[in-house]
Structure 1
């Protein structure tokens, strides 16, 4: 498999999933502004959406959209329980979390990365994001991870959003469950492996 990524972008989520799964993969860096690969190839010829992540499967098929990609990865190593079994009630709960993160957190961050958007508009979206993080904080009471004791692909996605919160100087210090959760996820060797490969932390 081949993961097209940009350091620290939402592609970090499937990158963490690949490390957790222990599957072999190649990592291809994308310049999202220029829509080019490091070798100069036109990324739009690979993924017309021009976004990351994109996962090239061994079959030759290209899959886009993070919540779908992480489930594909998880289902290849079902024994690792990165996603509950298909058609189970727990699987639908995972889908609920993935949809919440992608629709309510991820998309609300988008305006914060646009320099053309005025600060007062960005502040509106920051307030919305804080409300969504408060919901996540409430759901993490008494839990190690979003689904309970078991780390799943939804956790890699939420952790990526928490890194974005840091980058945008959102103060989440009052959300104690969420802060403990962030530290818990960050301490996982597989998460540190993904961060190191993307140049986001120094190798130990």
Structure 2
């Protein structure tokens, strides 16, 4: 399988999950501005939407969207426990967290990376992030990870997105449980391996 990524983007989440599951991926770096791969190929021919992650399966099938890719990769190695089994209520809880990260956090951070975003929009988004991250902080009370003591695909996605806070000047210091979570996840060997591969460590 081939994963198209940009260093530190949401494509880091499936990269981490693949490492956790012991799945080897062919990594293809994409330049966000030119939409060219490091081999100077036009990324838009792979994903016309122009964003990562994009996962090309061995049969040539294309999959996109971080919240879906982390589930797909986890399901390739169900024994990893990265996604609870189908039909288990815990699976729906994990999917609930994936949807929350995608819609309430990922999309709220995104405008900060666009140079033409008005300051008023950024302020509105900061207020929204404060409320949503406070919610996550409460849910992490007494837990190592979102689902308890077991690391799941949802944690990989949450960790990736919250990592953007330092790039946009969003202060996470009021959220002690979130900060502890970030440190715990960062120390995982699979996470460190992904960071090194993307040139981030």
Do they superpose with TM above 0.5? Answer: yes
Between 30-39 and 71-80, the greater mean CA deviation after superposition = 30-39
What residue is the counterpart of 1:173 in the other structure? 173
The offset of 1:59, in angstroms, is 2.2
> Which 4+ runs in 1 deviate beyond 3 A?
none
Report the Cα offset of residue 161 of structure 1: 1.3
The Cα RMSD (Å) is 0.8
Partner of 1:186: 186
State the distance in 1 between where 2:103 and 2:117 align.
20
The answer for the alignment partner of 1:149 in structure 2 is 149
SS in 1 for 2:49: coil
Please report how far the alpha carbon of residue 126 of structure 1 lies from its aligned counterpart in structure 2 after TM superposition: 1.2
Give the structure-1-normalised TM-score.
Answer: 0.96
SS at match of 1:36: coil
> Is residue 93 of structure 2 the alignment partner of residue 82 of structure 1?
no
SS at match of 1:37: coil
Deviation at residue 118 of structure 1 after TM alignment: 2.2
Aligned to 1:36: 36
Superposed CA offset, 1:136-178 (max 9, x none): 0000011110011100011011101121011112111111111
What is the number of residues matched between the two proteins?
201
What is the distance in 1 between the residues matched to 2:148 and 2:79?
A: 17
The separation in 2 between residues aligned to 1:121 and 1:68, in whole angstroms, is 28
Matches within 5 A, 1:56-135: 56-135=56-135
CA distance in 1, matches of 2:117, 2:69: 30
Shift of 1:119: 2.0
Output the CA distance in 2 between the equivalents of 1:120 and 1:42: 35
Stretches of structure 1 that go unaligned for 5 or more consecutive residues are none
Q: Which runs of 5+ in 2 are unaligned?
A: none
**Length-normalised TM-score, structure 2:** 0.98
Write the deviation string for residues 1-45 of structure 1: whole angstroms up to 9, x where unpaired. 110000000101101011101111110001121111111111111
**Partner residue in 2 for 1:5:** 5
